[in-house]
Structure 1
């Protein structure tokens, strides 16, 4: 495809070029990108359970869909902070890390009209330069911020819905965190923070245990955010500690009452909790290795159910594709 401006003159955020870059790495190494990075990067760093969104041939997209824990992203930030060194091993050449994390092009705001100062500081090799240090910015609010001047790595995994939230997170780091870096430790503050962290959890759906009777409904999937096929029969059965939602012919998901029920119905971990809000059953089903959640509602009187994403995954709304392991989120693409 022709360039819209002379090569090297305008920064354009473009996924297709990163897809091509992933294929170039595979051609040079003779190995799939995930296998190559497992051997050369992730396993030496002690990072396990790495998942990639893939097409039907098994190729990883390369430009999105790498699923890592918060701790793993923090480890990657630490690797960059230390110039590619991990413990006693130089996993990435220091010269390359220094090259990759300095500006090579003047960046322009990917969301025209928004105030996003940390996306206007230049672009390195697949890395954004910031007002302080540099950062990686993933879909739905995943952040890896590295500030060498303060020997600092900040990582956020979240489920944000708008691009402006990315700048809000970075503003909070600069305005609230950096000013406190050099202050003396306070045992009272440390304990207050530890207590807050211990108490953090996803909010449970509010309501009662409701009627302890089986309920049957049919899915209305007219919304574009729907996660399962229209007309799917949903059977909600009470259990000793919650319910079991049976989506006929597709998948069964245990749902906790006042607690998160753990399961892996098709290989990937799911957490679900629900409650009766009056005459309507409401449950949240989290695919926890992603930023995505499905809200299930069942209305027995109408015989209708809805299963809709709070944020629709980039690779499409079919819930079953996101529950299976290994991931193959675009089987329609060769």
Structure 2
């Protein structure tokens, strides 16, 4: 973190001084751990001060994390700023921004306005981009304009990342900059946000609905800025009227989950208890509680998003009193110890094995499989095991700590990702490897069972929206 960013770090305070018992925060942490909700980080702000913060090792405060759809709330902010500068209006027709595109003569498409994209009421009957649109063409705008508009715009909520991408494309049209570039001097730099990144489409437009990478404190600052109605250190960054519109219910929605049924604003969800939030897949949360003058920032690798919010409502919300509390040194010390102990433990050996000498440095040829993995090998070096996979013509190396997390870069898909990896023997013939892609929600577990010259590998992995298991089988290559 630069000196400039350090100077703009959020102020820290004690829970009790801000009306929250330390014991209540500790109960929240115990509850999310007991329910195995998969949190990677947590930050609680009250009255503008960070009163509790923690990262589950090997995740840490210096790491950016994939935001997924929490990116949408930042795209909405860019639209609000562009509107404040007179570059667009929420009542502008969407098609008016793309005179160079082929636009069919369709009344519903012509009726679609910027505000309909903002509120997920574009009229599309389903996601307009993810899937075939991203794979078959590099012109995502044209692809979305070609999709049928099923409903009269503004009448039906249909969650649609393509709508957010169109907002990003509109901002780029009127500013000449990507959303990321446009927000840099207007939002990120004033907040002291450094090291952010945003994925772009093949034509260089920020993806808008996903693809932003931020640190946990960056999320917290964004939430605090909204809580302060757009004012930061005495300077107005976002118009208060925009924040009011963006975080108010603009369209009705429904879901079996109560916090997804409270109405939707301009790329913000309404919550129970008068709160609102930006959120992203696997539990990336920026929850703003105006009535309690509080913000909760969370990153996670979870499939139980309502479960995470339930614990916020059960433990943190009722603990937020109107008055400061007497200091409780013992409870605060216990909370501090709990926060410092948060972790995903590395794989520890529960057994010893004589297989190492038989396996180390030898290659195993695998049967044909869906991932195209041709060979694997293991090589032990003191407290590290190097696992090598050959996928097609690519060779991927993963360094794993024996009984400890070891960090490095892996190149499974696309850009290299930072990983923490550990390994150990669960039985004399069974070697377990765990890998956490620590700037993402994703993780991998390899369970390798050796028998004679053969090996069977069960690879469990989470990737975009799915948890999968791949069974691999191979034989040792002759010396």
Q: TM-score range by the shorter chain?
A: 0.7 to 0.9
Is the 1:220–1:306 contact (alpha carbons within 8 Å) kept by the matching residues of 2?
A: no
C-alpha separation between the residues in 1 aligned to 2:281 and 2:215? 15
**Residue 136 of structure 1: which of 275, 278, 285 is its match?**
278
SS at match of 1:274: strand
**Cα distance in 2 between the residues matched to 1:48 and 1:126:** 23
TM-score when normalising by structure 1: 0.82
Deviation per CA, 1:91-117: give whole Å up to 9, x if none.
2222211221111111222xxxx2x12
Select between 142-151 and 51-60 the one with higher mean Cα deviation: 51-60
1:123 maps onto 2:285 in alignment: no
User: Partners of 1:202 and 1:136 in 2: how far apart?
Assistant: 26
| 1:218 to 1:152, Cα distance in 2 relative to 1, 3 A | farther
- Greater alpha carbon shift after TM alignment, 118-127 vs 175-184: 175-184
Cα distance change of structure 1 residues 234 and 158 upon mapping to structure 2, 3 Å threshold:
same
Q: Show the counterpart of 1:171.
A: 310
Q: Distance in 1 between matches of 2:407 and 2:148?
A: 50
Q: Distance in 1 between matches of 2:238 and 2:365?
A: 53
1:305–1:230 distance in 2 versus 1, CA, 3 Å: farther
Question: What is the CA–CA distance in structure 2 between the aligned matches of 1:315 and 1:63, rounded to whole Å?
Answer: 19
Which position in structure 2 is the counterpart of 1:332?
none
- Residue 15 of structure 1 pairs with residue 183 of structure 2: no
Counterpart among 408, 423, 434 of residue 263 in structure 1:
408
Aligned to 2:363: 216
> Alignment RMSD, CA only?
2.4
Greater helix share, structure number: 2
Q: Structure 1 49/306 Cα, relative in aligned 2: closer, same or farther at 3 Å?
A: farther
The Cα shift of 1:81 comes to 0.8
Q: Deviations over 1:27-50 (max 9, x none)?
A: 111012222223322232122222
Tell me if the contact between 1:216 and 1:300 (Cα under 8 Å) persists in the aligned partners: no
Residues 232 and 42 from structure 1, CA distance in 2 versus in 1: closer, same or farther, beyond 3 angstroms?
farther
The secondary structure found in structure 2 opposite 1:157 is strand
CA–CA separation in structure 1 for the residues paired with 2:291 and 2:153: 33
TM-score (norm 2): 0.59
SS in 1 for 2:373: coil
Structure 2 unaligned regions, length at least 5: 1-146, 469-479
Q: Note if 1:295 corresponds to 2:442.
A: no
Instruction: Kindly indicate whether structure 1 or structure 2 has the higher relative contact order, using CA contacts under 8 Å at least 6 residues apart.
Output: 2
Change (3 A) 1:262 1:128: same
**Kept after mapping to 2: 8 A contact 1:68/1:289:** no
Structure with max Cα Rg: 2
Deviation at 1:202, TM superposition (A): 0.9
Match of 2:213 among 67, 77, 81: 67
Distance 1:238 1:166, change over 3 A: same
> Structure 1 297/2 Cα, relative in aligned 2: closer, same or farther at 3 Å?
same
1:205–1:284 Cα contact (<8 Å) kept: yes
Does the residue aligned with 2:242 lie in a helix, a strand or coil? Answer: helix
**1:1-334 equivalence runs, <5 A:** 1-109=147-255, 114=256, 116-131=257-272, 132-161=274-303, 165-182=304-321, 184=325, 185-207=327-349, 208=351, 210-211=353-354, 212-213=356-357, 214=360, 215-218=362-365, 222=369, 229-248=371-390, 249-265=394-410, 267-278=416-427, 279-301=429-451, 302-309=454-461, 311-314=462-465
Q: Distance in 2 between matches of 1:294 and 1:247?
A: 14
User: How far apart are the structure 2 equivalents of 1:247 and 1:13?
Assistant: 38
The structure-2 alpha-carbon separation of the partners of 1:179 and 1:58, relative to structure 1 and needing over 3 Å to count, comes to same
In structure 1, runs of 5+ residues without a counterpart are 224-228, 318-334
Closer, same or farther: CA 19–259 of 1 in aligned 2, 3 Å = same
Cα distance in 2 between the residues matched to 1:300 and 1:230: 21
Equivalents in 1 of 2:378, 2:262: separation in Å? 52
Checking the alignment, whether the CA contact within 8 Å between 2:165 and 2:208 is kept in structure 1 is yes
Q: 1:92 to 1:196 in 2, by over 3 A?
A: same
Aligned-partner Cα distance in 1 for 2:288–2:279: 12
With over 3 angstroms needed to count, the CA separation of the structure-2 counterparts of 1:274 and 1:68, relative to structure 1, is: same
What is the rounded CA distance, in whole Å, between the counterparts of 2:290 and 2:352 in structure 1?
Answer: 51
